[in-house]
C-alpha cells in the first residue's frame, strides 16, 4: 500500500541510485528533478486527500455491500441549526456522528448532552478548528486535541475516540499525535457541499446521486440550509432503497469513561 513511509523509502532509494549513477554519467542528475517533483506531488495529495490513507489510516466508508449509509456532521454544535437537525434525525429514527469543535461544545453543553442522550456518536474536530491547525507543532496539536477531548468527555461522561481532522488535512505530525491519543480517524465518501450550496434540493440531489453501499456522508450542522437538505436526503435515500446505519453498527466504540482525565486541559 502506498503511504508516507513506503513513498519516502522508495524516493530516497531511487535518489541514492541516481547519485551513484552520476559517478559514471553526470547528466543522470536531471532524473532527480522529475523524481522530486513526483514525490512532492504525492506528499501534497496525501495531505489533502484523507481517504488515500497516506499519512493516517482513515475510515471513509462502511464495510458493507448493503445499501446503507452513515450521516456525519462537522463543526457544531450550533444553537441556531443543531436543534433542528437533531429533531429531524430523531423523527426519522436516524443516528449520526457529530464531529464537534471543542470551543463550541464548551459553549453549548446542553446540545452535546442531547446528542449523546439521543444515541448519536460524538467525535472530535479539534478545539478551535484553526486555519493553521495542520501546521501546529506536535505538542501544540496534542494540547489542542486533549483540550477538546477533555471538554466533550466531561459533558458526555465518555472519552471520545473518533476524530476528523480540520479540513480533512493530514500530515506526519498529526499521524503521530493521533496514534498516541488512540483516535480512529473518520473521513467521508460523499460530500454534500452544504457550506457553499444555495439550494437545498440541489444539495440533496448531489448526495443521493453519490450514494453507494457503505457511503459516509459529510454535512455540517452550522449551516442554515442543512436542515432542509437533510429532510430531502433522508427521504430520497429511502426512496432509492437505502437505510441509515448507526455508528454502533460498524464502529467498535470503547466503553471507557472519562475517569482519569484531568479536570481542566489547556489548549
- Given 74, 134, 144, 221, which residue is catalytic? 74
Which is the catalytic residue, given 59, 129, 147, 220?
Answer: 220
**Rounded Cα gap, residues 137 and 217, in angstroms:** 30
Buried b vs exposed e over 101-133: b needs ≥16 C-beta within 10 Å? bbbbbbebeebbebbbeeebbbbbbbbbbeeeb
For the chain, the farthest-separated pair of C-alpha atoms sits apart, in whole angstroms, at 74
220 is catalytic: yes
Strands 121-124 and 96-100: parallel
Q: What is the distance between the alpha carbons of residues 61 and 68, in angstroms, rounded to a whole number? A: 10
Burial 236-251 (b: 16+ CB within 10 A, else e): bbeeeebebbbbeebb
Place of cell 442543512: 226
Q: Does 120 participate in catalysis according to the annotation?
A: no
Task: Judge whether 185 and 50 are in contact, CB under 8 Å.
Answer: yes
What is the spatial distance between Cα 183 and Cα 179, in angstroms, rounded to a whole number?
7
Nearest to 161 by CA among 99, 224, 71, 91: 99
- Nearest CA to 112 out of 255, 18, 120, 177 is that of 120
Report, as residue numbers or ranges, the catalytic residues: 74, 220
Amino acid at each position: 500500500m502506498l503511504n508516507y513511509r513506503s513513498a519516502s523509502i522508495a524516493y530516497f532509494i531511487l535518489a541514492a541510485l541516481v547519485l551513484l549513477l552520476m559517478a559514471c554519467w553526470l547528466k543522470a542528475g536531471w532524473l532527480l528533478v522529475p523524481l522530486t517533483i513526483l514525490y512532492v506531488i504525492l506528499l501534497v495529495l496525501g495531505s489533502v486527500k484523507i481517504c488515500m490513507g497516506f499519512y493516517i489510516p482513515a475510515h471513509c466508508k462502511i464495510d458493507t455491500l448493503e445499501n446503507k449509509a452513515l450521516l456525519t456532521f462537522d463543526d457544531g454544535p450550533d444553537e441556531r441549526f443543531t436543534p433542528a437537525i437533531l429533531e429531524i434525525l430523531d423523527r426519522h429514527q436516524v443516528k449520526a456522528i457529530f464531529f464537534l469543535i471543542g470551543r463550541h461544545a464548551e459553549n453549548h453543553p446542553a446540545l452535546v448532552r442531547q446528542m449523546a442522550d439521543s444515541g448519536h456518536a460524538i467525535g472530535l474536530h479539534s478545539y478551535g478548528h484553526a486555519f493553521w491547525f495542520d501546521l501546529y507543532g506536535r505538542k501544540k496539536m496534542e494540547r489542542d486535541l486533549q483540550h477538546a477531548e477533555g471538554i466533550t468527555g466531561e459533558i458526555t461522561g465518555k472519552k471520545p475516540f473518533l476524530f476528523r481532522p480540520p479540513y480533512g488535512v493530514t500530515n506526519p505530525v498529526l499521524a503521530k499525535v493521533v496514534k498516541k491519543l488512540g483516535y480512529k480517524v473518520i473521513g467521508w465518501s460523499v460530500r454534500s457541499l452544504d457550506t457553499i450550496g444555495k439550494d437545498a434540493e440541489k444539495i440533496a440531489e448531489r448526495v443521493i446521486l453519490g450514494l453507494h453501499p457503505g457511503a459516509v456522508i459529510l454535512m455540517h450542522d452550522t449551516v442554515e440550509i442543512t436542515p432542509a437538505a437533510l429532510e430531502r436526503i433522508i427521504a430520497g435515500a429511502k426512496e432509492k432503497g437505502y437505510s441509515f446505519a448507526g455508528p454502533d453498527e460498524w464502529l467498535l466504540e470503547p466503553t471507557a469513561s472519562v475517569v482519569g482525565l484531568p479536570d481542566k486541559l489547556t489548549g
